[in-house]
């Protein structure tokens, strides 16, 4: 349920830097981080949490159909998100809000998705190569692997120039590891030695089913059977998430083949706003993980480095403003045009779609101005 002897950690739950032989190779990567970068880690985690709280509130008030919180998983996402380079591509599941923020999406597009205005939301190439959310569990891991095969075919991995070489990151959860697609993605990634990082956020629960039902073996051991190196990290430690992702991304970018990280974290909130976690997990468990909160842990660390109260106050203000801005913009969102239903089913003209669109226009026009047509 919690950390194991294999779990790599740089920041203890008490917020102190941990030095050990196991993490010796990761520490220098963290020591290179500037104060500004460390502040940015905290800022994005705090903003993401405020966004999640606001998303849940908007759902409770009927403004969003469903909300999928990332609450509790901020460190796993922020660490790995900041470890990427601009040219990298990201194939998320549907809970990677913090990674999306880092890669430059406008999170109102996530709101549009869950408000029922779109099935997608953004153009990946214009938003940090952050691909759109995938609702079928694990499907995106194959897309990521195929994309990474394309990177290799293009000769954009293993050239030795880290500014040019590209890597692909795919996010998925503990429930998804049982899906055939994830296992097939690991097979293909190993066979074609893709420049790819499999980033598993093990948040302990697939809706109501515990990870023990998904696997009898620690999940970081699975990739070994596919010939892919894997490690387990403390996913609530933003520093190890950053350092491990950085190291593995540089290795895979350099053409050394795919890599796998299991980040142990916890879904502090519900699976979605439709879920009731009190039906299947104990207060003891949630209290245990509350004590391992990724944001307060990192805040303690920053304070121990001398970060002043002003910074934390500013971040609080910024997060609150961010949330209220999202609320305002959510209430301003319109309804998509009916044309949108027909226009992008195919890239090329399609007679049946054209005919149905035209029929609907005539049908609507026939009732325009009548009570039924209001």
Q: Which residues are catalytic?
A: 267, 271, 280
Q: Which is nearer to another protein, 133 or 266 (CB)?
A: 133
State yes or no: residue 339 binds another protein (CB under 8 A). Answer: no
CB-based contact 94:69 (threshold 8 Å): no
As measured in angstroms, the least distance from the Cβ of 259 to another protein is: 17
As measured in angstroms, the least distance from the Cβ of 148 to another protein is: 7
Query: Looking at 62, 160, 180, 306, which residue binds another protein (CB under 8 A)?
Result: 180
State yes or no: residue 6 binds another protein (CB under 8 A). Answer: no
Query: Looking at 188, 198, 289, 301, which residue binds another protein (CB under 8 A)?
Result: 188
Q: Please tell me the distance from the alpha carbon of residue 226 to that of residue 185, in angstroms, as a whole number.
A: 10
State yes or no: residue 21 binds another protein (CB under 8 A). Answer: no
State yes or no: residue 147 binds another protein (CB under 8 A). Answer: yes
As measured in angstroms, the least distance from the Cβ of 62 to another protein is: 25
As measured in angstroms, the least distance from the Cβ of 348 to another protein is: 6
State yes or no: residue 362 binds another protein (CB under 8 A). Answer: no
As measured in angstroms, the least distance from the Cβ of 336 to another protein is: 9
State yes or no: residue 132 binds another protein (CB under 8 A). Answer: yes
Residue 179 φ then ψ, to 5°: -70, 140
Q: Which is nearer to another protein, 150 or 277 (CB)?
A: 150
- What would the x/- binding string for another protein be over residues 194 to 233, using CB under 8 A? ----------------------------------------
Q: Which is nearer to another protein, 280 or 346 (CB)?
A: 346
State yes or no: residue 164 binds another protein (CB under 8 A). Answer: no
Stretch touching another protein by CB under 8 A, among 19-27, 98-106, 145-153, 267-275? 145-153
Note the residues at the interface with another protein (CB under 8 A).
Answer: 118-120, 123-124, 131-132, 134, 136, 139, 141-151, 153-154, 180-181, 184-185, 187-188, 191, 340, 343-348, 350-352
């Amino acid at each position: 349920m919690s950390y194991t002897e294999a779990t790599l950690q740089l920041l203890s739950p008490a917020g102190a830097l941990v030095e050990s032989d196991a993490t010796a190779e990761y520490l220098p990567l963290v020591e290179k981080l500037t104060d500004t970068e460390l502040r940015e880690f905290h800022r994005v985690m705090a903003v993401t949490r405020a966004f999640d709280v606001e998303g849940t509130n908007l759902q409770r008030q009927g403004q969003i159909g469903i909300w999928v919180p990332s609450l509790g998983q901020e460190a796993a996402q922020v660490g790995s998100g900041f470890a990427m380079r601009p040219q990298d591509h990201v194939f998320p599941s549907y809970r990677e809000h913090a990674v999306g923020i880092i890669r430059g999406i406008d999170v109102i597009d996530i709101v549009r998705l869950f408000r029922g205005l779109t099935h997608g939301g953004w153009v990946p190439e214009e938003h940090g190569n952050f691909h759109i959310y995938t609702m079928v569990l694990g499907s995106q891991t194959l897309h990521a692997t195929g994309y990474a095969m394309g990177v290799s075919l293009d000769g954009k991995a293993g050239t030795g120039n880290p500014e040019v070489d590209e890597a692909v990151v795919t996010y998925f959860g503990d429930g998804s590891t049982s899906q055939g697609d994830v296992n097939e993605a690991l097979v293909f990634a190993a066979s074609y030695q893709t420049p790819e990082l499999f980033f598993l956020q093990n948040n302990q629960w697939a809706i109501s089913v515990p990870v023990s039902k998904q696997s009898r073996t620690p999940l970081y051991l699975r990739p070994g059977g596919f010939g892919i190196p894997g490690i387990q990290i403390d996913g609530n430690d933003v520093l190890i998430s950053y350092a491990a992702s950085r190291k593995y991304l540089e290795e895979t970018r350099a053409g050394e083949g795919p890599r796998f990280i299991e980040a142990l974290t916890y879904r502090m909130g519900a699976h979605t706003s439709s879920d009731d976690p009190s039906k299947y997990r104990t207060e003891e468990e949630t209290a245990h993980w509350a004590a391992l909160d990724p944001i307060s842990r990192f805040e303690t660390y920053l304070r121990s480095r001398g970060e002043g109260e002003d910074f934390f106050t500013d971040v609080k203000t910024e997060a609150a403003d961010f949330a209220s801005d999202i609320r305002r913009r959510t209430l301003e969102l319109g309804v998509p045009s009916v044309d949108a239903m027909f226009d992008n089913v195919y890239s090329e003209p399609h007679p049946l779609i054209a005919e149905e669109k035209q029929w609907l226009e005539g049908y609507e026009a026939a009732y325009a101005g009548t009570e039924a047509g209001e």
